[in-house]
Amino acid sequence: MAHFIHFFLPFFVLIEATRVLLLLDLDYDDLFYRLFTESQNFAPSGVGRLGAIGEINDTIFDECILRSNPTWTEEMRRILNPNYDPLKHCDRSYRPWSSLEPDGRISIRNEFSDAKCRARALLLKDDYTNAPGEWHGVEERFVFENDIVEVECKRSGQVAYKFLHSQIWTGENRDTPAKSENASVDVKQKFPSVYIMLMDSFGASHAKRVFPNTIQYLKDTFQSVEMHHLNKVGENSRPNAFPFLFGKTVQGIYRDIWGEQNINDLSKRQYCKSYIDKEPLVIKAFEKAGYKTMMAEDWDKGVFNWPNCKGYRKPPTTHYMRPFQIEMSTSAMQLMDHQGKQNCFEPHHFLNDYTEQFMNAYANSPKFALNWASCLGHDYSNEPFHADGDYVEFLKRNREELDNSFLFFMGDHGLRFGKMSDTPEGRRDVSNPMMYISVPRRLRTNSALMTNLEKNSHELLTMFDLHATFVDILETFTITTTADFTKTIEKEKMRGTSMLRPLPPGMRNCKTLPIPLQYCICHLDKRDVRPTDAYSSIGTVIADAINNQLKVYGVEDRCAMLIPDEILELKLIVGSKDLYQVTIRMMPSRGLYQTFVSGSDGNFRVVSPDVTRLDTYKKQANCIDNNEIRPLCYCQKNSVRRFFFGTFLD
């Protein structure tokens, strides 16, 4: 009986603890959020407490030395293959059986007239589910008054063809003539459109390697200005998207190491477990001011959803491509027979088609569009090379529209995985996303504006500054209507400043700006230190910090407790008292982790809770769905499997 109680008591305790949390309507993530925002000493440490232990008093962080990566090095030439092309052997003669005509009707090519074809509208129920309309035979000549249309054709009773088409249905009669060209020009002069083209995982230097022609075209045609030192403020896409689209954080920014207040605006319950329709998306502010708006991504688990966040209940913009991506995921096997790479189609093609359709619509209205391409550059360093020409052609086709608009061609962060990310250039790039800004042609003669952009292009910037820039555009052209960019505008509740204006006086560094220490791109001289026995306790301190995070998030029952294996890099920050950057391998995940520690004589402490996972972890963390803690999780089931099967799993 004693053995029975000893074995099952922990399970009874866990069940009771879970029951209490449910009764209180509280979860681990909200508990974490409350502790974070209520405590000034909140970060993981080896002594069971969250928070940085003490402050960093070194003055080396008062100065920010900014350097740009070289585009090509000998190591990069060995790693990268600019000739890589996944479409090299695709069927360039392929043409879809169906087309969506300008009047909203589906037509079938004559050579496939023997097939029985039908089509239906794909509407949105929520961010995860479509609400398909009724099927209509193509011969009905039905007019589809929505954006996404699915076509299906059968031969001999079997589905032989499926295809998704897109359009921008404006709700206007297609036979009604557009307003005069002069009216259209006048609107564009007063209210310039804004386009964001975001390439996921494009770092500043890697963008120049993979998209040299696109970048040159931006500079030559639109006089785009590169913002050299944009600093990410979060690990991956969502914690960088929220700051520039909402002006809010979803990943804590630990400021107590500088003696400042920690920053964490939204808990997981707010940004993930609840619909975010009520959050202040800057695009909605433009729509309220009379703009037509669009948001489109190239996969169904988008920036507001991955891996299981609710996202939006209702479309957040006038036009929303999500039904396309939902169906592309749901019916992938059938759709890929005709819309896959073998026929020279890739996700960014459909994404850019939809964006171009939006650009060509609403000739008499200003527009705001977010085009977010994830598939092309997220996982592999060589993948984007072949698409450089696609984007040049896209810019050429839409030159007139873009020439009269604000264009932000940007990344959210750099490539986080692979051989390239192991290089010095790759490590910096991951925190330094690409950013090119072009302004409407008529404003390129505004000396104050262009001087500000050029000067600010060499300053340390954040995603909060980008959000402030959007707000500045909105207010300048819809409220004041005077393009005077000579004055700095600072708003009390905003953490950024418009990049179109003079930046506030004072030092710009990772202490004064909301940038986590772990992602800071200000250059620090570092000296290699041999990890002798005197530094052996560092591994335990970092492991305790990670394991403490797992406990706070309530996933220690699913994620293995990590133990240190080997310190791979130990670098002393030159000029500091006793600050080190540590790269360490942990078991059983065999993962590579990096953080900062401080101390001497065997007494060390983690000074920043931002422990970064440097290598791929996707499959290792499949037992949990919390995107914030996944990089630190190695599922218990993996430990059991590795015990029995060893390296066969790797």
Strand ranges in 234-360 using DSSP code E only, listed in sequence order = 292-297, 319-320
Q: Which residues contact 487 (CB under 8 A, 6 or more apart)?
A: 501, 502
pLDDT at 68: 94
* Gap between the Cα atoms of 389 and 215, Å rounded: 11
CB of 64 within 8 A of CB of 53?
no
Half-sphere exposure of 193 (CA within 13 A, CB side): 31
Torsion-angle region of 344 (φ positive above 0: left; ψ -120 to 50: alpha; else: beta): left
Tokens of 118: 């039908």
Predicted local distance difference test score (pLDDT) of residue 581 = 95
The total number of residues shown for the chain amounts to 650
Within 13 A of 382's CA, how many CA atoms are on the CB side?
A: 13
Is-contact 351 297, C-beta < 8 A? yes
> Are 311 and 125 within 8 A, CB to CB?
no
Cross-strand pairs, 100: 106
- Amino acid code (one letter) for 402: L
Strand segments, DSSP code E, in 530-648 are 563-573, 579-587, 591-600, 603-606, 612-613
Give the three-class secondary structure for 194. strand
- The CA–CA distances, whole Å, from 263 to 260, 474, 495 equal 9, 26, 11
Helix (H, G, I), strand (E, B) or coil at 578: coil
pLDDT of residue 138: 98
| Amino acid in the structure at residue 538 | I
pLDDT computed for residue 482 by the predictor: 76
Cα separation, 263 vs 249, in Å, equals 7
Q: In what order do the strands lie in the sheet with 292-297?
A: 225-226, 435-438, 405-410, 193-199, 367-373, 292-297, 319-320
Query: Does 366 sit behind a cis peptide bond, omega within 30 degrees of 0 on the bond before it?
Result: no
- For each successive 10 residues of the chain (650 residues), what is the average pLDDT? 45 42 42 45 32 62 94 96 98 98 97 97 97 98 98 97 98 52 63 98 98 99 99 96 98 86 93 97 98 97 92 98 97 95 98 99 97 95 98 99 98 93 92 98 97 98 98 90 87 93 96 94 95 94 94 93 96 92 96 94 87 87 86 83 42
- Residue labelled with tokens 């890697």: 206
434, β-bridge pairs: none
Given the DSSP bridges, would you call strands 367-373 and 193-199 parallel, antiparallel or unpaired?
parallel
Residues sharing a CB contact under 8 Å with residue 14, sequence separation 6 or more, in sequence order: 557
Q: Which amino acid appears at position 627 of this protein? A: N
| Other beta carbons within 10 Å of 399 | 13
Neighbouring-strand partners of residue 152: 118, 162
